[in-house]
Amino acid sequence: MKYVKEFRNPSLVKNMIKKIGSDVEREITIMEVCGTHTMSIFKSGIRDLIPSNIKLISGPGCPVCVTSQAYIDTAIELTKRDDVIITTFGDMLKVPGNNSSLQNEKALGRDIRMVYSPLDSLKIAKENPDREVIFLAVGFETTAPAIALSIKIASEENIKNYSILQSIKTMPETMKQLVLDEDIKIDGFLCPGHVSTVIGAKPYEFLANEFEVPAVIAGFESGDIAIGLYTLIEMIKNNTNEVKNVYSRFVKYEGSEKAISSIYEIFEESDAVWRGLGNISGTGLKLKQKYDSFNAETKLGINLLNDKPIKGCICGDILKGKKNPLQCKLFSKVCNPLNPIGACMVSEEGTCAAYYKYKNIG
């Protein structure tokens, strides 16, 4: 495949990996914020090939994993209403709530439909005018434009039975929280690549300028990650604090103007509750007052249930990069992809799922 294979060239990757951190002695901690990077790092074997003083930790960059327990439980509760159809990205189906999961409820006959796009939810709404179609709107800046588009079309076409249960989150401020956390100590960030296609490189600059943490935006092929890590470690070594973009085939400095303006036409900044990280101001998106008629909570007069964390699951610390899945007592034996206890084991991009898949434990 074009723009894939050449960035995976095995002999080039191999040569590059040898250079990564070969001349650093101190311990360096790099966080890859994005779950897709975590997967790719495992898949390419990079984690095992680089020197052991270079620590790669996974961050909160999987939209399914960071969705709060309260949100999942509320979504499950909503499926019990006969006048409601829940539409969702497939990854959300298996996330365990406190008593059930969407998948369980689906098996019990509740009307829950998997979609690839919020635009498909809109289609379902048109086909079922007498029922409320609620899309589980989770995701980051990457997903927000598609959700915004669905609201815009619904508003223009006057579709009255479509709404979203909103939990859209934004990245850069969240990375600041991690930098401020004294227990973590991050020397550099591998920025979320897809989020960056939308927001660009600019919004990360404050991390380098104010907090002296360099960052690199990289793509997802093994070569991209090798270049990204190499570039980042060079900066760390030389005390250079900048944001470098080695994914310029898709990421512009300013991001995508069209995507950004489509988000902010419909949404405005808000607080957001993250699994493990709690409530962080300025890291969420909520519908503007003008579009509040598409907000499932106001429309149905419901409030999110209380957050009840799952016993024994340490997803929270894992999402902050404080612990790794091997430190969870439930990992593998009790919690595995067939029987996930926490959200990080569910999504393909979840840290626990990645460890399970590539560590050959179990």
Partner 1 sequence: MCVAVPAEVIEIKENEALVNFGGVKKTVNINLVDDLKIGDYVLLHAGCAMQKVDKEEAEKTLEIFRLLSEND
Site residues (vs ligand SF4, CB under 6 A):
34-36, 61-63, 140, 142, 192-195, 313-315, 318, 325, 328, 330-331, 335, 341-342, 344-345, 349, 352
Rounded Cα–Cα distance for residues 86 and 102 (Å) = 9
276 binds, among partner 1, ligand SF4, none (CB under 5 to 8 A by kind): none
- Listed as own residue / partner, the contacts of 123-131 with beta carbons closer than 8 Å and 24 or more positions apart are 124/85, 124/87, 125/154, 125/159, 125/161, 125/162, 126/159, 128/85, 128/161, 129/161, 130/83, 130/161, 131/83, 131/84, 131/85, 131/161
Rounded Cα–Cα distance for residues 252 and 179 (Å) = 24
162 binds partner 1 (CB under 8 A): no
72 binds, among partner 1, ligand SF4, none (CB under 5 to 8 A by kind): none
Amino acid in position 180: L
**Which residues make Cβ contacts (< 8 Å) with residue 73, sequence separation at least 6?**
97, 98, 99, 305, 308
Query: By the 8 A CB rule, do 194 and 142 touch?
Result: yes
316 binds, among ligand SF4, partner 1, none (CB under 5 to 8 A by kind): none
Least distance between ligand SF4 and beta carbon 21 (Å)? 23
Rounded Cα–Cα distance for residues 104 and 118 (Å) = 22
119 binds, among partner 1, ligand SF4, none (CB under 5 to 8 A by kind): partner 1
22, 209, 240, 248: residue in contact with partner 1 (rule CB under 8 A): 248
For the segment 99-118, give every residue that binds partner 1 (CB under 8 A). 116-118
Taking alpha carbons only, the member of 116, 114, 123 closest to residue 159 is: 123
Rounded Cα–Cα distance for residues 135 and 138 (Å) = 9
Cα dihedral angle (172, 256, 42, 283), rounded to 10 degrees? 20
Least distance between partner 1 and beta carbon 128 (Å)? 19
259 binds partner 1 (CB under 8 A): yes
262, 283, 295, 351: residue in contact with partner 1 (rule CB under 8 A): 262
Rounded Cα–Cα distance for residues 169 and 284 (Å) = 4
139 binds partner 1 (CB under 8 A): yes
46, 112, 198, 266: residue in contact with partner 1 (rule CB under 8 A): 198
28, 30, 31, 36: residue in contact with partner 1 (rule CB under 8 A): 36
Rounded Cα–Cα distance for residues 106 and 102 (Å) = 6
Least distance between ligand SF4 and beta carbon 14 (Å)? 25
Query: By the 8 A CB rule, do 204 and 175 touch?
Result: yes
Of 94 and 286, nearer to ligand SF4 (C-beta) is: 94
15 binds partner 1 (CB under 8 A): yes
Rounded Cα–Cα distance for residues 349 and 340 (Å) = 14
- 355 is written with which tokens? 């460890």
208 binds, among ligand SF4, partner 1, none (CB under 5 to 8 A by kind): none
Of 89 and 162, nearer to ligand SF4 (C-beta) is: 89
Of 21 and 316, nearer to ligand SF4 (C-beta) is: 316
Residues that bind partner 1 (CB under 8 A): 1-4, 6-7, 9, 11-13, 15-16, 19, 34-36, 40, 62-64, 89, 91, 116-120, 139, 142-143, 145-147, 149, 193-194, 197-198, 219-221, 223-224, 226-227, 230, 246-252, 256, 258-259, 262, 347-349
